[in-house]
Amino acid sequence: MPELRKDPITGRWVIIATDRAKRPTDFIRDKVQIRGSGFCPFCYGNETKTPPEIQAYRPNGGSRNSPGWTLRVVPNKFPALGIEGSMNRQGEGCYDKMNGIGAHEVIIETPDHKSTLATMPVHDVEDVLWAYRDRIIDLKKDRRFKYILIFKNHGEAAGASLEHTHSQLIALPVVPKRVREEVDGSREHYNFKERCIFCDIIRQETEDEQKPRLIAENQDFVVLSPFAPRFPFEMWIVPKMHQCAFEESQKHEFEQLAPLLKEMLQRLDRVLDYPAYNYIIHTSPVAESTEDYYHWHLEIMPKLTKVAGFEWGTGFYINPTPPEESAKFLRGAAVPVAT
């Protein structure tokens, strides 16, 4: 009998198809491979092929928009939103619209075309986290922005158009609907229980004797297969310390997150044979006081199944792999110790 499970934060029901439980090898898809053929605007020497850099880490010095950097942030060459101008909110009969004001940046995570977050040195992965933070802190000063979204598309099937490893940042003048839903859901739980729902989840998942959905844990973070995942092998990395905003993390937290994120992506590569994936940092809207009830986290979604239109038309997901199964495979993967 399949099971219907409710996500305790958003209230979304998901069908967990326990009868036809799928194992990692049941998902047929193209393995993400770095070909390295052709011109790459993110490699050394091609700095002028991107818009001028916003920020770069150059531990050994060097001048702007030239080689020598270890991480580089540039505006997206084909931005979804424009940085200049005013929002000019207006009606059009029963409709509402505004100018597409926002920032759309690319974080080039390493100069090494052949690397991924799973293979880069931990120190470089940590630098990626610091770059996320630096950019959020800078963009928060612009009062037009209500939400700053950090995400990564890895592999063509996950929407990456360039294979050189990179993340993206979009600063938005509105709070996206799913973020709104999660923030509102957390607030409702807090109003009802006077506790953070994420803290409740961490407690339940780590205190359960079996810990069937716990994938990994270190000093500052837990990694879970969520109870009602939309996708097979979905993973959430959640800080143990209650904190609404990613950018307000402690230094020791970034130091703990970097090796864990790397390790989890290694586990994904091992268990699912180099899948395409997306990850998204779920963090507090910029100008809202969510301290009491919201809890930032990072959601990783391997791209294994074809999401049919009805799934994003209805918000109704069928997941063929129970999270307890996913967790078992991910826990069991032999991965190199992070260095």
Binding of a second copy at residue 93 (CB under 8 A)? yes
Q: What is the amino acid identity at position 221?
A: F
Distance CA 184, CA 199 (A): 16
How are beta strands 221-224 and 166-172 bridged, if at all? unpaired
Asked whether position 36 contacts a second copy by CB under 8 A, the answer is no
Q: Report if residue 96 touches a second copy, rule: CB under 8 A.
A: yes
**Alpha helices per DSSP H over 158-250:** 177-193, 197-207
From residue 329, how far is each of 3, 193, 201, 213, 268 by CA, in Å? 20, 34, 21, 11, 9
Q: Which is nearer to a second copy, 167 or 256 (CB)?
A: 167
Stretch that binds a second copy, among 165-173, 245-253, 283-291, 331-339 (CB under 8 A): 165-173
* CA 249/CA 238 separation, integer angstroms: 12
Residue whose structure tokens are 């500052």 = 220
Q: Using CB under 8 A, pick the residue from 23, 31, 49, 97 that binds a second copy.
A: 97
Q: Which is nearer to a second copy, 3 or 291 (CB)?
A: 3
- Residue number, 241 or 307, with CB nearest to a second copy: 307
Figure out which of the listed residues 21, 318, 335, 338 binds a second copy, where binding follows CB under 8 A.
318
Residue 44 binds a second copy (CB under 8 A): no
- Say which residues have a Cβ less than 8 Å from residue 229's Cβ, sequence separation at least 6: 14, 319, 323, 326
Give me the least distance between CB of 197 and a second copy, in Å please: 7
Minimum CB–partner distance for residue 259 and a second copy (Å):
23
The stretch near a second copy (CB under 8 A) out of 16-24, 40-48, 63-71, 247-255 is 16-24
Out of 104, 154, 164, 166, the active site residue is 166
Which residues 55-74 are close enough to bind a second copy by CB under 8 A? none
336 binds a second copy (CB under 8 A): no
Residue 137 touches a second copy, criterion: CB under 8 A: no
Question: How far is Cα 104 from Cα 82, in angstroms, rounded to an integer?
Answer: 8
Cα separation, 244 vs 291, in Å, equals 5
192 binds a second copy (CB under 8 A): no
How many Cβ atoms from other residues are within 10 Å of residue 244's Cβ? 21
By CB neighbour count within 10 A (0-12 exposed, 13-18 middle, 19+ buried), where does 91 fall? Answer: exposed
Sites for a second copy among residues 261-290 (CB under 8 A): 277-280
Closest separation between CB of residue 238 and a second copy, Å? 14
The reply to whether 11 sits near a second copy by the rule CB under 8 A is yes
* Residues touching a second copy, count (CB under 8 A): 73
Q: Which of 71, 303, 322, 329 binds a second copy (CB under 8 A)?
A: 303
> Binding to a second copy by residue 314, rule CB under 8 A?
yes
d(CA 96, CA 69): 43
Which of the ranges 47-55, 130-138, 197-205, 216-224 carries the binding residues for a second copy, by CB under 8 A? 197-205
Residues counted in the chain = 339
208 vs 291, which CB is nearer to a second copy?
Answer: 208
Q: Helix, strand, or coil here: 301?
A: strand
DSSP state for residue 144 in the 8-state scheme: T
Strands 147-154 and 277-282 turn out to be antiparallel
> Is position 242 annotated as part of the catalytic site?
no
Q: Active-site residues: which are they?
A: 166
